[in-house]
A and B are shown apart, each in its own frame.
Chain A
Amino acid sequence: MMKHISKFRFGTVCAGLALALAGGISLAQQSAEPAKAAVVEPAPAGGPLVMRRLTESQYRATIADVFAPDVPIAGRFERGLREEGLIAVGTSHGGMSAFSIEQYDTSARGIAADVTSEKRRAQFVPCQPKSATVFDKACATAFIDKYGPQLFRRPLARDEQARFVEVARLAQQRLGGFYQGLEYTLIGMLDSPHFLLRIERAERDPQHAGQQRLDAWSKATRLSYFLTNSAPDTELLRAAGQGELDTDQGMARQVDRLIASPRVEGAVRSFFWDMLYFDGFSDLFKDPTIYPAYTVAAARDAQEQTLKTIVAHLVTDRGDYRELFTTRTSYLTRPLGIIYRVPVAERNGWEKVEFPVDSQRSGILTDLSTLALHSHPGRSSPTLRGKSVREVFMCAKVPDPPANVNFTALDAVSKPNSTARTRLAEHNENPVCAGCHKLTDPIGFTLESFDGAGIFRAKENGVDLDLSGSLDGVKFTGAPGLGKALHDNPSVPMCLTNKLYRSAVGRDVATTEEPFLEYLTASFAQNGFRVIDLMRTIALSKTFYSVTMPESKPVGPAGQTASAAPKGDHS
């Protein structure tokens, strides 16, 4: 049942009974000194070609970059499929419901209407039709040639181009106007699978006979969505077209250009939004009687607070990733300041603040967002919080409770004079429960200074709180103790490396890629745990772009092959 636990696949940390952590502990010991590991990239192991669906944030960023940030997107987005802890991984497995297509079409019609509107056509249409009545094929072609490659992330094939020109001609003929022709052809491009899906292609590798490599457009797309969460810009497409991405120097020039651009913030932001499960806010509800301060607006601001803190620390300040668990620096609005009981002078917008030393606040662990997200509607949950710390930051899998567990001894309903610790005592005494609860609850108990909405409390039900806890044998008290323990735990940066790479390639890590992940973790440590540097290392690596595929795979026209990622492990 229990799978091979390797360093980078992490695995299940408990299996119903108090069985495991062997994997977790040895993992921690093995990599106590990561800097000693080799810091040379191992030979690329190769990976599958994937077909990834654009996420909501990628769709929005792409439209904003290709057209303008104020072009309206009217459709709704279905919630992303989360697999192996990441929506980024789900993008290469999920299907597209009829609802999605209907909504994509709504968005497409809104975008196209705006782009070709009388008000904006001068901004977006590269030419003017020669005639008010006769179809201007050259101008329509120019429009398609401008936006087609940006939306499809590759040049359009001749027949594709002709097809979109024909749609424009037909639409003008039926509806009367040249710009209506462009409007409808743009709708077609935005509804196309070539836009909505990132379909990777391989080509024969001229340098290695008999081998395949990612074609330049697929390389540019992988790179661009990884570093900017958006489509390749015109400069990256130019470089791809001229073969520059197939040379080390050309690739490095593009990587450094993108890393230096402000768009890298969007990539960091969306990665952490995904890693922190912030999609969960869409159906997170709190009882307004118990938590009157928790409002929709507060929840929205709380997410932004965390993302702002992360971006400022990792991108602006090029800070150490591990300090995200210990920093007392954060960003608040005035309404958030009231909840945090920290004065905020700024009336509108955000202000950098420093939480007091005795506030129990310790980095993103004690942000309203993460505390509220992993709690019940009417109370905190040391179990859910502990589980999230293990899964989100340490890449461990805490299984569901056994289905047939006998709950008769448990009496955990909230009562006067009880605390979560007393209510959960049974979990940690009954051997059936303790196996997993000992992994989660001692983490969660240290966060009990914060109620189910993340608001500070000195007592629960009038009882003083016992904030002692532990993580992998290290004992501590309160949230700052937990923050320090996570800061010092080697599986934390290792897990970040793992998730960042899986997010970049949109699939689970293959066993053959483990040496590469060891290399990444070592170089992460060597570079002071700076996430931007880690992103650069990945983007410059050969492994990130390497592909393998069986020769028997069907080959499409022009010697191209597209393939599927193996399904992730869902056991």
Chain B
Amino acid sequence: MTFLSRRTMLRGAVNGAAVGMALPFLDIFLDVNGEALAATGTRLPVRFGTWIWGCGFIPERWIPTTEGADYVMPVDLEPMAAYRKQMTILSGYDVKLDGVANKPHVTGNLGLRTGIPVPGETVKAPTIDVLIGDQIGQGSRFRSIELSSSGIERSYSYRGAGSINPSETSPIALYQRIFGEGFQDPNAASFTPDPKTMVRQSVLSAVTEDRQRLLKGLGTADRQRMDQYFTSVRQLEQQLALQLEAPAKVENFTVPTAPGKTVVDSEIEHVMANHKIMAGLLAQALACNQTKVFNMLFSDTASNLRRSASSDTHHTLTHEEPLNAKLGYQEQVAWFAAKSMVACREFVDALAAVKEGPGTLLDNTLLFAHSDCSIAKSHAVEGIPMMVIGGAGGKVRTGFHKAGRADAATRVGLSLQQAMGVQVEKWGTGAMDTNRTITELVA
């Protein structure tokens, strides 16, 4: 079969002329079960994302008392009840410290995301979202999008030590980054490639041309850093390449309107509001293939959330609030833990609200929600609460509670990578090293 590539066709027509062509529907794109195709004929991609809430949970309010599909929904998970069938609850999986000093709110979180506990933030491996992103993230405008709703600029998405993907904290900045300059409406009536885009491509080629010579002169650590520079430049090249192609049509999509100004800080109601707006924008961005990978930090791991006019934060309360003897737990801490699950529900709502093919965006997303510790008061990294939510395009099974029985938390990370098509047989080091897939989870 010989025909002009789309790129060649567009190049020919590029000098400012409007190109109103719809891409041909090719049989080769058909999926065997047909379900992964939207009505427009494009394949529906599978997305992966993480959703982090800080300072753990109140076990007796969160862990179902029985395993399997018929558990009674625990009180703090009530908000998630509507998604019971699309959610797997994972309790009792540990980060095994193996003698590594536990840096509060850091070691557990990065341990379960990289498979290697470290006594600080100098990770020894990329985080799971980066590993999966390298597998599924190609062909979209952003390798991943990081978001944080409590004003904290950081994220827990690491390509390596010191190489962290920063989070967007403002809904307006998020909107501008995704739907501002450089965004192409997939359903626009005509497509006009900008001739400047090709010039920008040649600029980047010139910039990266002496790559080999640059790398050759450097020591090992700097060579890795230089490599990261080139990896990041490749995203930009990818963006330019996409801008030269007419975007595939997306059904049920209209460009969202810009959000209004909101207060960005750590007061819980502000956080809930910003979180909801960002979740909605992200869902639209996922729908029109701006990214396939995301990380949402609802609250930082040492959660700075607070209630208006209170002199305490969620984190300080975990250490300073006395135990309510009648309840058996810290009452205010429990309030924040319960609120976090309401936020989780709102995030999932945003994914489920986007119609896609025969189902919703949630059906084609694998959302990994987790905290940094179990009992925040003692910074315990045993039994960190985790959930797998969404259909992942049929790649995972959901609808049950699975107790980890003190197995390494890396079993979860390994299983998720395998579900997403990463070729990996074992993951983690030391006591976290595992080759045991959670077979119930991976379809």
**Do A and B assemble together?**
yes
Which A residues have a C-beta under 8 Å from some C-beta of B? Answer: 48-49, 51, 76, 78-79, 81, 83, 90, 93-102, 105, 159-160, 163-164, 166-167, 170-171, 174-175, 184-185, 187-188, 191-193, 196-197, 199, 201, 282-283, 285, 287, 289-290, 376-379, 400-401, 403-408, 410-414, 452, 553-557, 560-567, 570-571
Are B162 and A81 in contact, CB atoms less than 8 angstroms apart?
yes
Contact A403:B267 (CB < 8 A) given known A98-B232, A171-B199: no
Are B220 and A282 in contact, CB atoms less than 8 angstroms apart?
no
Are A287 and B216 in contact, CB atoms less than 8 angstroms apart?
no
The answer to the question of B179 belonging to the interface, with a C-beta cut-off of 8 Å to chain A, is no
Name the CB-closest residue of A to B97. Answer: A403
Which residues of B have CB within 8 Å of A377? 266, 304, 306, 311, 313
Are B236 and A101 in contact, CB atoms less than 8 angstroms apart?
yes
Most buried by B among A90, A193, A560: A193
Are A378 and B203 in contact, CB atoms less than 8 angstroms apart?
no
Distance (whole angstroms) from the CB of B90 to the closest CB of chain A: 22
The answer to the question of B196 belonging to the interface, with a C-beta cut-off of 8 Å to chain A, is yes
Are B304 and A285 in contact, CB atoms less than 8 angstroms apart?
yes
The answer to the question of B142 belonging to the interface, with a C-beta cut-off of 8 Å to chain A, is yes
From A79, A282, A290, A556, B213 is in contact (CB under 8 Å) with A556
Are B206 and A164 in contact, CB atoms less than 8 angstroms apart?
yes
- Bitwise, B155-173 to A at CB < 8 A (1) or not (0) is 0000111111110010001
The answer to the question of B152 belonging to the interface, with a C-beta cut-off of 8 Å to chain A, is yes
Determine the distance from Cα of A166 to Cα of B203 in the docked complex, in whole angstroms: 10
Are A188 and B203 in contact, CB atoms less than 8 angstroms apart?
yes
Are B165 and A413 in contact, CB atoms less than 8 angstroms apart?
no
Are B204 and A191 in contact, CB atoms less than 8 angstroms apart?
yes
Name the CB-closest residue of B to A171. Answer: B199
Stretch at the interface among B245-253, B318-326, B336-344: B318-326
| Given A83-B162, A405-B378, A557-B217, 20 new contacts (CB under 8 A) | A48-B219, A79-B154, A81-B162, A95-B228, A163-B206, A163-B209, A174-B195, A188-B206, A191-B203, A197-B226, A283-B151, A285-B266, A285-B267, A287-B308, A378-B310, A412-B316, A413-B317, A414-B311, A554-B216, A571-B119
From A105, A401, A414, A564, B218 is in contact (CB under 8 Å) with A564
- Bitwise, B100-137 to A at CB < 8 A (1) or not (0) is 01111001000000000001111000000000000000
Which residues of B have CB within 8 Å of A452? 311
The answer to the question of B75 belonging to the interface, with a C-beta cut-off of 8 Å to chain A, is no
Determine the distance from Cα of A391 to Cα of B63 in the docked complex, in whole angstroms: 41
Name the CB-closest residue of A to B221. Answer: A564
The answer to the question of B202 belonging to the interface, with a C-beta cut-off of 8 Å to chain A, is yes
Name the CB-closest residue of A to B209. Answer: A163
8 pairs, CB–CB < 8 Å, chain A vs chain B: A94-B163, A99-B165, A196-B229, A285-B266, A289-B309, A413-B320, A560-B217, A571-B119
Name the CB-closest residue of A to B381. Answer: A403
Distance (whole angstroms) from the CB of B303 to the closest CB of chain A: 12
The answer to the question of B222 belonging to the interface, with a C-beta cut-off of 8 Å to chain A, is yes
Are A570 and B120 in contact, CB atoms less than 8 angstroms apart?
yes
Which residues of B have CB within 8 Å of A164? 206
Closest 4 CB pairs of A and B: A95-B163, A556-B217, A378-B311, A564-B219
Are B213 and A102 in contact, CB atoms less than 8 angstroms apart?
no
Are B219 and A404 in contact, CB atoms less than 8 angstroms apart?
no
Determine the distance from Cα of A282 to Cα of B219 in the docked complex, in whole angstroms: 34
Are A403 and B120 in contact, CB atoms less than 8 angstroms apart?
no
Are A376 and B308 in contact, CB atoms less than 8 angstroms apart?
no
From A98, A174, A290, A403, B378 is in contact (CB under 8 Å) with A403
Contact A290:B309 (CB < 8 A) given known A96-B228, A96-B232, A188-B206: yes
Which residues of A have CB within 8 Å of B214? 193, 199
Determine the distance from Cα of A166 to Cα of B209 in the docked complex, in whole angstroms: 13
The answer to the question of B67 belonging to the interface, with a C-beta cut-off of 8 Å to chain A, is no
Which residues of B have CB within 8 Å of A97? 159, 163-166, 232
From B213, B232, B377, A407 is in contact (CB under 8 Å) with B377
Which residues of A have CB within 8 Å of B266? 285, 377
Are B195 and A413 in contact, CB atoms less than 8 angstroms apart?
no
Are A174 and B199 in contact, CB atoms less than 8 angstroms apart?
yes
Distance (whole angstroms) from the CB of B124 to the closest CB of chain A: 11
Distance (whole angstroms) from the CB of A188 to the closest CB of chain B: 4
Are B218 and A562 in contact, CB atoms less than 8 angstroms apart?
yes
The answer to the question of B312 belonging to the interface, with a C-beta cut-off of 8 Å to chain A, is yes
Chain B residues numbered 357-407 whose CB sits less than 8 Å from any CB in chain A: 377-379
Name the CB-closest residue of A to B264. Answer: A285
Contact A285:B232 (CB < 8 A) given known A404-B378, A564-B218: no
Are A81 and B104 in contact, CB atoms less than 8 angstroms apart?
no
Determine the distance from Cα of A408 to Cα of B329 in the docked complex, in whole angstroms: 12
Name the CB-closest residue of A to B205. Answer: A167
From B104, B166, B209, A401 is in contact (CB under 8 Å) with B104
